[in-house]
Amino acid sequence: MPLFARRKESPGFYRFFKNVLGFTPRHTELYHIALTHSSSSTVDHGHRINNERLEYLGDAVLGSIVAEYLYRKYPMKGEGFLTEMRSKIVSRKSLGNLARRIGLPELVEHQRGQEGSFKSLGGDAFEALIGAIYIEKGFRFTRRLIIDKLLCTYLDIDQLAQTDWNFKGKLIDWGQKNKKKVSFEVVRSIVRDHEGRREYECLVKIDGQPGQSAIGYTIKSAEQLAAEKTYKAFVPAEPTEK
């Protein structure tokens, strides 16, 4: 018997797929797994079933599709620009915002009353959903859906290109101008799942004093997020011209 055979789809389940993604899923069990947070795992033959494996797959598929899309969209831009743009699009913050815009978090099965503890719930579910679509529909369908239904509909790519991202560099420049030592420290490494996938928490220090910290899938992304939070908290906003 399928793992989620007895789960009844909510009224919004098929509506979401039809109205937002433009198709009706055939293997609903696969998508129920994609929409199951680890806090609501089901145990099957000793294995915890949740969306972490699909999230791993979706992360790889999404990164590949976004990289190709940017390569074709900006034929005259260099590797540094393309890498930074991909990081902006697939960052936890960006995917979380995108997930909220399409109403995905409302469909995720998780322990209620702890929403504040699941800051990446929407973004993680988004990646898991991409993994599920890839398994059922294949690469070409998934690529077309990501670009046409999601990126070009819910993200302003050109505006994103103008958005400040390298807060680590900006914070270091600010420190040099103001004779303050800015450093970054990995304070802990967190094992997220049974596959050994890790998250890293990085802390910014200014003249040895703690600033803001943040968690990311890589040390680099955690440093960027921590730098952004610290920059906005410590660096005075530039006055606007009247």
Does residue 59 have an active-site annotation? yes
Annotated catalytic residue within 127, 201, 223, 228:
127
Annotated catalytic residue within 59, 201, 223, 228:
59
Strand 42-44 versus strand 47-49 pairing type: antiparallel
Cβ proximity of 163 and 87 under 8 Å: no
**In Å, how far from its chain's centre is CA 61?**
13
Question: 40: how many CB neighbours lie within 10 A of its CB?
Answer: 15
φ, ψ of residue 64 in degrees (nearest 5) = -65, -45
Does residue 79 have an active-site annotation? no
- What is the C-alpha separation between 70 and 38, in angstroms, rounded? 32
Give the active site residues.
59, 127
